[in-house]
A and B are shown apart, each in its own frame.
Chain A
């Protein structure tokens, strides 16, 4: 997620025009869990400015700053003064639904870990269980154990702190290790959830999450819609938007507040535009995320793309979709349908063509007429 997390933590990346963490909060509040402790660190101000004291989300939020990012066990250790038994622990960057939290709360009579099936178990902690009891969590196993993985959601009580303290002395600061050790002393339930749990591992996962989130879109029609605008399907238009004449909006679409959609622009499913975005005349955007404060000039084509906050692209950006090989931290991934992945505050001059699967890292500057492929480093100037 590097290109999109230069100024925000991962939990604040928007899908369906809401930060990932908001889905977790909503699922908790829907189940009556309102007293929340957020353990924050990197760019915590962004989380705090958005959620404030939680009132607007029906919750009360206490913030604990994790001073050193040692690990998840260390994180809840730092919050221990605020945790009453029993408590649940969730990862803020996984998208979950109410059912998921219901399963977690249902299991909370004794310590529990929520597990689910995964197609990529090798990327997670794989769970071995005996009947309904957890035996161990094996992190990123090299050999196949099972396809049941740890969702990182736990129901715990303060006894876990003894395990955490003990393991910390051995230099282990991760919660799965603590829970595995805990399972040796007391019974820990491994509960398979029927709810939704999705982890966004790669930027293109965001597009899938975005499409899913837009299915539950709450339709709002605000702002100014000029004449001869066609709106089909479920389309949400935020406060203070201006939709210029001739625009064609095919839902599901979410357009954030204060955005301006130019004359004859075409917005196709499943697209989320953040707040204060401007789309130029005759520009087409489909199945993409454009985060806050972005500007997309006239006569551009953007498909299957993720575009970070504050990206400014002048006229004629061509980021069309196709099969692409994307390099993420040195590993190549073949993605069948992908456009561009453009990081925060990238500036793109006129007539730039971006090959499918190109990653442009934050604050890069691209001059007119450039053709981009591969990975453009952050702050780079492309002539």
Chain B
């Protein structure tokens, strides 16, 4: 998916195009470019975020232009493959969203006629094709060219000799016209225009449009003029993207089942993990920061339990500066953005030490993917809320897959057991949904417990890091001071802090530590602290020991971190909402930490 924006008006085009691109960033952000017609055609493009492009822009004067943001799904994003593309004469610039199916044969013909190609994109064939038809009228040339191509497209084009004009066309990829006074716009989607106008016309398949500062002409591909009344857009930018949810965080928590589906997709049946092989691996070290570090800690228990392989987890910021031991573990680096500075540093250090490195990230082509031997994408979709939710769930699922693969390759899992584990993994979206169905119940509990100034989270084994993640969530978005402890550690100090006004959230699901957990809960209740437990459905004993219970479905304990995390995310969200906190943008925090 890509995003395109075009402008013809009286103002400077550049800031309008860049702002529009940022609104379309949800459509992709691995490379971006802009073309402006001022005194001649000027094109600047590069791989990376739009902000990266912005930082290196020379002054570009002109009030006609177009811009493009790309999300490569196949092949590496690069400066050369970034749009806009330019013809041999350097006069025509083209931005394209879609796929031209017959680009290879077109390219062959055009190269035979002497056109010089610089990129590997399908789009470049179209710009040279337009050039070959150009006889002084860009509109006519594009119309002819479109008759020669097969595929889906939304395109925008400009010509240096025809300033004040942007031409668009669409077939199966979105394009919308924005109508303003003395200026007109074209874009993949309405949010790119909303700051400037609320009057839009949707372009339909096999239609072309010419915008100038003065007007808009809509035609079919035969050149027959058409008319369509503008519609008025009655919604605002923010609402648009949240799709009916009050906050991005809530929207993203509810996307957990979908994130699990996407992470499992095409991988589960044959444990085909994008070419990852566990051959020769005798131990695993998981390295990450923040929420991803909590996933790494869960991973340690998962690898030990499922693959029977020694595993340890370390903070990226610590691992980098530690001494290299003589063993060579597989180093798994986890970062949602793939841009976390310490994790990137740790990846370099791991490879310097001669270790194989596997990256787990959510962002295609991110820096981490270049620092590791293999990458496993979590495919959870773009996450906008600063507090990681669905991407944490997807990281856990990715780790389960890697553990299963290792168990299979090392022969520590029998065929039957492997099949059973696969089925259980397949049921995880339902386990997450079970908890999501309890959102209202959890909200009521957040109202009861969320007024506290301090809270404690306790868990054991694989659910100890889940308790840590729960505490982190409540700290970052609701500003409640929270500490997480391995339940067995309480009596070594923290018990001194417990009073009747410090609620304790205890993860007490049916796992091998359940009995121990119950006695730890006893220690807590004895100090008068109210206890909210996360327990397993059908557990009739637990409610007798605690004040309230949020139930997760009865699933094998090794997978319980998934539904427990969803419950703790919903709890933190509801607490923050009741405290009126800026949930999607908590103070002092950024989505990805690119400084050390």
Interface residues of A (CB under 8 A from B): 6-7, 34-35, 38, 40, 43-45, 47-49, 51-55, 58, 60-63, 82, 84, 223-224, 239-242, 257-258, 260, 275-276, 278, 292-293, 295, 309-310, 312, 345
Question: By the criterion CB–CB under 8 Å, are B267 and A45 in contact?
Answer: no
Which residue of B is nearest A312, CB measured?
A: B427
Compute how far the CA of A45 lies from the CA of B437 in the bound complex, rounded to whole angstroms. 9
Question: By the criterion CB–CB under 8 Å, are A44 and B244 in contact?
Answer: yes
Question: By the criterion CB–CB under 8 Å, are B241 and A53 in contact?
Answer: yes
Please name 18 further chain A to chain B contacts, defined as beta carbons within 8 Å, in addition to the given A43-B437, A239-B265, A241-B266, sorted by A numbering: A34-B231, A35-B231, A40-B244, A44-B244, A45-B245, A48-B243, A48-B251, A49-B258, A61-B244, A62-B235, A62-B244, A239-B266, A240-B265, A240-B267, A242-B270, A278-B426, A310-B429, A310-B433
Compute how far the CA of A104 lies from the CA of B439 in the bound complex, rounded to whole angstroms. 38
Which residue of B is nearest A84, CB measured?
A: B234
29 contacts between A and B (CB under 8 A): A7-B433, A7-B437, A34-B202, A34-B231, A48-B244, A48-B251, A49-B251, A49-B254, A51-B243, A53-B243, A60-B235, A62-B244, A84-B234, A223-B266, A239-B266, A241-B266, A242-B269, A257-B261, A258-B261, A258-B264, A258-B265, A260-B269, A275-B261, A276-B264, A278-B423, A295-B423, A309-B433, A312-B423, A345-B553
Interface flag for B508 (CB, 8 Å):
no
Compute how far the CA of A241 lies from the CA of B174 in the bound complex, rounded to whole angstroms. 28
Give the A-B pair count, Cβ closer than 8 A: 100
Which residue of A is nearest B253, CB measured?
A: A45
Chain B residues contacting A224 (CB-CB under 8 Å) are 266, 269-270
Which residue of A is nearest B430, CB measured?
A: A310
Compute how far the CA of A62 lies from the CA of B190 in the bound complex, rounded to whole angstroms. 14
Question: By the criterion CB–CB under 8 Å, are A276 and B429 in contact?
Answer: yes
Compute how far the CA of A62 lies from the CA of B244 in the bound complex, rounded to whole angstroms. 7
Question: By the criterion CB–CB under 8 Å, are B234 and A35 in contact?
Answer: yes
Question: By the criterion CB–CB under 8 Å, are B430 and A345 in contact?
Answer: yes
Separation in Å of the A30 CB from the closest CB of chain B?
A: 11
Interface flag for B240 (CB, 8 Å):
yes
Compute how far the CA of A62 lies from the CA of B245 in the bound complex, rounded to whole angstroms. 10
Instruction: Say which size band chain B's interface belongs to.
Output: 35 or more
Interface residues of B (CB under 8 A from A): 174, 189-190, 202, 231, 233-235, 239-245, 251, 254-255, 258, 261, 264-270, 423, 426-427, 429-430, 433-434, 436-437, 439, 553
Q: Rank and list the top 5 A-B pairs by shortest CB-CB distance, nearest first.
A: A240-B266, A63-B244, A310-B430, A52-B243, A242-B269
Chain B residues contacting A310 (CB-CB under 8 Å) are 427, 429-430, 433
Question: By the criterion CB–CB under 8 Å, are B189 and A293 in contact?
Answer: no
Chain A residues contacting B254 (CB-CB under 8 Å) are 45, 48-49
Instruction: Tell me which of B264, B433, B436 has the highest count of chain A C-beta atoms within 10 A of its own C-beta.
Output: B433
Separation in Å of the A379 CB from the closest CB of chain B?
A: 10
**Provided the pairs A62-B239, A223-B266 are in contact, do residues A309 and B430 lie with their beta carbons within 8 angstroms?**
yes
Chain A residues contacting B202 (CB-CB under 8 Å) are 34
Chain B residues contacting A242 (CB-CB under 8 Å) are 269-270
Which residue of A is nearest B232, CB measured?
A: A84
Chain B residues contacting A275 (CB-CB under 8 Å) are 261
**Provided the pairs A276-B429, A295-B426 are in contact, do residues A257 and B245 lie with their beta carbons within 8 angstroms?**
no
Instruction: Tell me which of B264, B426, B434 has the highest count of chain A C-beta atoms within 10 A of its own C-beta.
Output: B426
Chain B residues contacting A34 (CB-CB under 8 Å) are 202, 231
Separation in Å of the B370 CB from the closest CB of chain A?
A: 26
Chain B residues contacting A40 (CB-CB under 8 Å) are 244
Chain A residues contacting B242 (CB-CB under 8 Å) are 53
Question: By the criterion CB–CB under 8 Å, are A49 and B255 in contact?
Answer: yes
Separation in Å of the B510 CB from the closest CB of chain A?
A: 16
**Provided the pairs A45-B439, A55-B189, A258-B261 are in contact, do residues A293 and B266 lie with their beta carbons within 8 angstroms?**
no
